[in-house]
Amino acid sequence: MVTIAASPRVLTMDEYHTHWQPQRWQLIIIGPTSTWRQEWGEWEAIRDIVQNALDEAEAYRWGRDENGLWIADRGKGVAVADFLLGPPKLKPDYARGKFGEGMKIAALALIRKGYPVHVRTAGRELWIIFLEQEADGKVQTLAALWRPDGTKVGTRFHIMGYTGPAFEDRFAVNLPRSAIISEGPSKVTQPVRRFNQLIQYSFPATPPSGWYEKGAGSSRVFARDIYMRNIKSPYSYNLWGFDMVPDRHGPANENDLWVDMGRLWSCVTRVELLEVFLRMVHHPPLFDTDESHNINLETWAMGTEPVTGKRYTDFIQENAAIWRQAWVKNFGENAIIRTADRWDATVKHLGYESHSVHWLVKDTLAMLIITDTDLVKASQERLREAQVIPDSQLTHRQRVHLVLAREIANTITVQKVAGVHAAIIPPASDRVRTAGMYSRITQEIFVAADQLERGKTTVDTVIHELAHHTSGAEDLEESHSEAMTRIAAQVVELTHARQFDDFMREVWW
């Protein structure tokens, strides 16, 4: 059993030759001085040791004994040359760690903090130390004592004298399975197919453990099973599909993180989760989170899932009914997606309500949820089916009211309309009937036959449609409303002046 009393941390060459070389320990001088990467502390060191263990064996073990904290895996063992000597050897793209220097820096950081580091790996036993040398003063450089021995399989790091946290809650592999509330295939398929994970778990918030390490919050982003940073969210995430900067404190490209998060949400199929998601991406957010302002569901950005060849937006479309159900539960049956403010009044006129969403999810949600432009286009298509009713087919009362409407149109406007007709007009939407319509192409006004039954509804309708003619605006836009007010005032004034007396004798108000 290795004991703390025998644990070297700083050696001189004389001490090596006197005490260690006779016991068959060989010395390798690795090179970096003890001041290298001073921002690294206990968390960064343990993180990279565990990262290597997970890349070796997909799992790790840890525990404490009388000497300190140990971390072990059952992989093929650490290659001493790769571990200790440079230049760094890059790992495959699918690995959790890619830059090949992590364990070297981890050992240096731990020794600098005062903890001797003992490693037993397949066929080797090592002490990682600082070698004190004379070079214009005393300089401590990273070195290793090693000899043939070690374990039969795997690697075991022993951080001697360390009684601090093992940071086990910062590795997603330690979470209970119940904490994973949804999964979706990532872009990583080697050496096994990886799945992004949506996590709901009460993580303990931990304070910073150094000037560089900021602590971990109750909601977190894990990158390839390993804690990367906090997130303002009701959820935590374990994501695989983006590269990280060498120090592992963030993504190499910030947008890639939010795209990968979008890939995960594309595969969510639980209504209650999608309800929360839609509240987050509503604009302004109904539930203000980091996702509200950053998440990306764009088709081109998320790309295709490599195993099935499907676009990630295909997963959303396959579950369109569930997404629509979540939308309706949040915002109601009459809620549609806003693409432009100019349609708001028209949408309201058609019996619907516009809702804005975050711009990086709008186009994808528009594949599932009707938009204001869809609604207006559908309304226009319906209204094209209007059928003019010849005057001869109208009742006497309808003809009287239609003649009054024509006289008002001819009297009020300088730029005359081409005609005012009775018509059978389809409903503008499935929620409202259509009293009248104006064709910008032919500059004609059409009044629904039922509106011609009374003088009041006839006059109201013709004023509304004349306002479209004079303003060029859509329903209830400000200029349209102003035009209606102006035309109505003119009608009142001319009526008071008895301008329409000859046309009102038989009007049924």
Q: In this structure, are 235 and 329 located in the same domain?
A: no
Q: In this structure, are 146 and 54 located in the same domain?
A: yes
Q: In this structure, are 397 and 428 located in the same domain?
A: yes
264 occurs within a structural domain: no
161 torsion bin: left (phi>0), alpha (psi -120 to 50), beta (else) = left
pLDDT of residue 99: 57
pLDDT of residue 267: 98
474 occurs within a structural domain: yes
> Is a pLDDT exceeding 90 seen at residue 93?
no
Tally of structural domains, the chain: 4
pLDDT of residue 3: 39
Calpha distance 400→455 (Å, rounded): 9
> What burial class does residue 401 get, using C-beta atoms within 10 Å of its C-beta: 0-12 exposed, 13-18 middle, 19+ buried?
buried
8 occurs within a structural domain: yes
| Per-residue DSSP letter, 431 | S
Q: In this structure, are 390 and 363 located in the same domain?
A: no
Residues with Cβ within 8 Å of residue 492, at least 6 apart in sequence: none
Judged by DSSP in three states, 184 sits in strand
Calpha distance 301→348 (Å, rounded): 34
pLDDT band at 431 (very low <50, low <70, confident <90, very high): confident
Domain range enclosing 60? 4-166
User: Which residue(s) pair with 355 in the sheet?
Assistant: 337
Percent over 90 (pLDDT), the chain: 65
* Average pLDDT over every residue of 499-509: 89
256 occurs within a structural domain: no
Percent over 70 (pLDDT), the chain: 94
> Is a pLDDT exceeding 90 seen at residue 434?
no
**Predicted TM-score (pTM) of this structure:** 0.81
* Average pLDDT over every residue of 389-393: 93
- At residue 366, what is the residue type? A
CB-based contact 179:168 (threshold 8 Å):
no
Q: What is the pLDDT of residues 124-165, one digit of tens each?
A: 899 999 998 876 778 888 998 989 876 778 889 999 999 999
pLDDT of residue 419: 92
Q: In this structure, are 9 and 87 located in the same domain?
A: yes
Q: In this structure, are 132 and 79 located in the same domain?
A: yes
296 occurs within a structural domain: yes
Q: HSE of 79 in the Cβ direction (CA atoms, 13 Å)?
A: 9
- Lookup: tokens for 266: 């594309």
> Is a pLDDT exceeding 70 seen at residue 4?
no
> What burial class does residue 323 get, using C-beta atoms within 10 Å of its C-beta: 0-12 exposed, 13-18 middle, 19+ buried?
buried
> Is a pLDDT exceeding 80 seen at residue 306?
yes
pLDDT of residue 361: 98
Calpha distance 235→289 (Å, rounded): 10
> Is a pLDDT exceeding 50 seen at residue 358?
yes
CB atoms within 10 A of CB 28: 18
> Is a pLDDT exceeding 60 seen at residue 5?
no
262 occurs within a structural domain: no
CATH of the domain at 392: 3.30.2010.10
Q: Which residue has the tokens 């998440």?
A: 295
- Lookup: tokens for 217: 């919050």
> Is a pLDDT exceeding 80 seen at residue 80?
no
Q: Phi and psi for 408 in degrees, rounded to 5?
A: -60, -45
pLDDT of residue 448: 92
> Is a pLDDT exceeding 90 seen at residue 185?
yes
Q: In this structure, are 159 and 50 located in the same domain?
A: yes
pLDDT of residue 441: 76
Q: In this structure, are 28 and 151 located in the same domain?
A: yes
Q: Which residue has the tokens 């390798």?
A: 28
Q: Phi and psi for 283 in degrees, rounded to 5?
A: -125, 120
289 occurs within a structural domain: yes
63 occurs within a structural domain: yes
Q: In this structure, are 42 and 152 located in the same domain?
A: yes
Higher pLDDT, 91 or 51: 51
Higher pLDDT, 52 or 363: 363
In 74-223, the DSSP E strands lie at 117-121, 124-134, 138-148, 155-160, 180-185, 195-199, 220-223
Q: In this structure, are 187 and 301 located in the same domain?
A: no
pLDDT of residue 95: 81
Q: HSE of 229 in the Cβ direction (CA atoms, 13 Å)?
A: 13
Q: In this structure, are 332 and 305 located in the same domain?
A: yes
Cα torsion for 426, 429, 431, 433, to the nearest 10°? Answer: -30
> Is a pLDDT exceeding 50 seen at residue 2?
no
- Lookup: tokens for 401: 């009211």
Q: In this structure, are 157 and 30 located in the same domain?
A: yes
pLDDT of residue 78: 62
CB-based contact 179:171 (threshold 8 Å):
no
For all residues of the chain together, what is the average pLDDT? 90
